[in-house]
Amino acid sequence: MENYPQSFSINMQPYGRNGGATTPTPVSTPPPKDFVLWSFFNAIYCNPFCLGFLALVFSIKARDRTVAKDPMAASSYGRTARSLNIAACCLGIVGTIILLVLVILYRPVRP
């Protein structure tokens, strides 16, 4: 039977400039998204049933909670703003398509 070398592990800790081990830096999580620009666009251009305005309100609440260091509430408000933005965009696009179809179908006929 052949003798195989025994397994061993190598310590791969990072070293600083002075040769000593460095302390690991804490990993920071990115702040929750607030979708303010998308909400502002929907509030100005695509605002069926005031959904764009409501999305803007929730976006501003999410930004305020982010500044107040409350990430749970900020992410909740951000998710609500995202849902309202999606609903406003979908309703605005469908409404625009229906309006264009009606204008094309019911235009006056010239003799």
> How sure is the predictor about 1, in pLDDT bands with cuts at 50, 70 and 90?
low
pTM (2 decimals)? 0.70
Residues for the chain: how many in total?
A: 111
> Do residues 47 and 53 lie in contact, with contact meaning Cβ atoms separated by under 8 Å?
yes
* Helices 36-45 and 71-105: angle between axes, nearest 10 degrees: 30
Q: How far apart are CA 88 and CA 68, in angstroms?
A: 28
Q: What is the pLDDT of residues 53-63, one digit of tens each?
A: 999 999 999 99
Predicted local distance difference test score (pLDDT) of residue 20: 53
Q: What is the pLDDT of residues 43-95, one digit of tens each?
A: 999 888 999 999 999 999 999 999 999 999 999 999 999 999 999 999 999 99
pLDDT at 8: 67
Widest pairwise Cα distance in the chain? 103
User: What's the pLDDT at 25?
Assistant: 65
Q: Mean pLDDT throughout 29-55?
A: 92
